[in-house]
Structure 1
Amino acid sequence: MKKVLVTGSNGLLGQSLVSLLLNEKDKYEVIGFSRGFNRSGRDDFKYVSIDITDEMLLKEKLKTYTPDVIVNTAAMTNVDACEDNKEECDRLNVSVVEYLKEYAEKRKVHLIHLSTDFIFDGKKGYYKETDEPNPLSYYGKSKLKSEKTLVSSSIDYTILRTILVYGKVFDMSRSNIVLWVKKTLEEGKELSIVKDQFRMPTYVESLACACKLAIDRKAKGIFNVSSNKLLSIYEIAIEIAEVFDLNKELIKPISTRSLNQKAVRPVKTGFDLNKSIEELNFIPENFKQDLQNFKEKLT
């Protein structure tokens, strides 16, 4: 029986991972740390309402629950908000990782941490785990700092880098690209979507599976997790329309320049997934297949 603590358990990945682990209650005891009330719709795990940026409180609660594994899914991920609120971004994306690392060092805990394709500048695409990071946004810089905190430590860590996560859970605090495109098209509204940024979107269920694989295999190091085909964000929107039988004529391609976004985005990310396939036994799907699986879950 492994005691697994999930920070950010109210989030999209947090709720998905908690549910996945609770399918095997003989293998995992699950503890969720998150702000506010338990939004998962489940009461069959220990939920702790906590501000994890409070160092003393976090460490006190960690000592109380003594996890074997911590999966840190909590993060400030709104890229433009991170640009505007750098201190808040650093508190959640950097300082919390330092607190968790310090606890993990003392207690020999396996720490699994989520990172992002935004640590790269997007000049080449299909990045390997060993490629040199060069973040363009404050969000990307904060996530790279958190990675460095773990890489330079003596703990057993796993970093799972991922891209454009989507899906649906019991109680959502924010939308994501698939739900947003689907809802807008269902309402019969036009959508302007960038044609000159390229990503490999990640179904949250696949990402939760990768987290579980990292737990079970005691995987150490950095791993890439996403779907397996690089698409423009415009192409992503078109595929969403096709899978959900919506009017793709409402989707209009535009350039990044016309958006005037606060934070600079990398043009082309995407991952080389070979290491995750070989060492984690992660099985990536193409985006359309993942979308089909998501559609079936929604119905």
Structure 2
Amino acid sequence: MSIESGMKKKVLVTGANGLLGQKLIGLLRNDISVELIGTGKGASRLPESWAGSYTWMELDITDREEVLEVFAATKPDSVIHTAAMTQVDDCEKDREGCRILNVDAVKYVIEACEKQDSHLIHLSTDFIFDGEDGPYTEEAVPNPVNYYGETKLEAENLLLASNIRWAIVRTVLVYGIAQDMSRSNIILWVKKSLEQGKTIQVVNDQWRTPTLAEDLAEGCILIMKKGATGIFNISGADFLTPYDMAIQTAEYFGLDKSLITESDSKLFTQPAKRPARTGFNIDKAKKELGYSPKSFLAGIGILAKQLKLADS
């Protein structure tokens, strides 16, 4: 069923309490062509003012029977699967939990989509690559260097082997703020640290194309509306180190850049290895979807406005 048919398209979002999930619900909730279903483990944590613009259903994606039941009850035309375990070090330390969320749950979602003939839009990551020669195109050969990347690649391969209509959305270092969010991001961390007069060490030997959460949500929606299939890189366009990002953040907010010290990632000990040079070439998404991300500086500006609104 297409949007153009005049009938509403049923869109189910998993992980709707998360950062990307909240952005998707926020963008789609007033779309008259969409009947929107938000799902998540437990009650909705979305803004109360959004009530009535979507249907909420509790869903534990690690429970196969529950996944099949919710999909059978809702019969979604499109599913945007954002729910996953994404904290890279946690994945390294809790491999069983990571596998259940990032691989087993994807099997259940694929099975449910096959039964309901749903188009599945699945979120993946730059961490499926080893970081030897980024930025990467969609055709680059994956070679993960940590367990998180291994599970996300395994999930991609499940889609490739399936009989459903699917799109894989690979993204990079997503940043943003949302309702009831416990996780920080590099912009908020740098801003808060410098405001408190703290000296911070920021690595200068890793490269990414940081992605504004709103841009990622818009990329997913473009895929959903077009019924597009295949692999799409959806990220920001600016190829930056975390040090570059920190300097831009300090400059935007008029904070003391001398408090920011360049550092080497080898000085930090973390459970999971990070690929050095990832980032994405997004030419395919621009050409085929009309995707147009904001610059990193514009993204900082959007966060700044959201922070003001949250404080008001």
Class of the TM-score when normalised by the shorter of the 2 chains: over 0.9
Which letter maps to 2:26? S
Q: 1:138, CA displacement in angstroms? A: 0.2
Counterpart position of 1:67: 76
What stretches of structure 2 of length at least 5 have no aligned partner? 1-7
CA RMSD of aligned residues (A): 1.2
2:47 maps to 1:43: no
Counterpart of 1:17 (choices 18, 24, 45) is 24
Which letter maps to 1:233? P
Counterpart position of 1:31: 37
Which letter maps to 1:12? L
SS at match of 1:90: helix
Aligned 8 A contact 1:11 1:173 in 2: no
Q: What TM-score, normalized by structure 1, do the two folds share?
A: 0.97
Aligned 8 A contact 2:44 2:56 in 1: yes
Matches of 1:72 and 1:179, distance apart in 2:
26
Q: 1:16, CA displacement in angstroms? A: 0.6
Counterpart position of 2:210: 201
Question: CA 1:49–1:187 in 2, change beyond 3 Å: closer, same or farther?
Answer: farther
1:127-152 per-residue CA deviation (whole Å, 9 max, x = no partner) reads 00000000000000010001111011
Alignment coverage as a number of residue pairs: 298
Matches of 2:37 and 2:189, distance apart in 1:
30
Counterpart position of 2:4: none
Counterpart position of 1:147: 156
What stretches of structure 1 of length at least 5 have no aligned partner? none
Q: What TM-score, normalized by structure 2, do the two folds share?
A: 0.93
Q: 1:125, CA displacement in angstroms? A: 0.9
Which letter maps to 1:245? G
Identity %: 47
Which letter maps to 1:279? E
Counterpart of 2:9 (choices 2, 23, 43) is 2
Counterpart of 1:99 (choices 86, 95, 108) is 108
2:228 maps to 1:219: yes
Counterpart position of 1:264: 273
Matches of 1:241 and 1:183, distance apart in 2:
10
Counterpart position of 1:280: 289
Matches of 2:203 and 2:214, distance apart in 1:
26
Counterpart position of 2:3: none
Which letter maps to 1:235? D
Aligned 8 A contact 2:71 2:116 in 1: no
SS at match of 1:37: coil
Which letter maps to 2:243? Y
Counterpart position of 1:169: 178
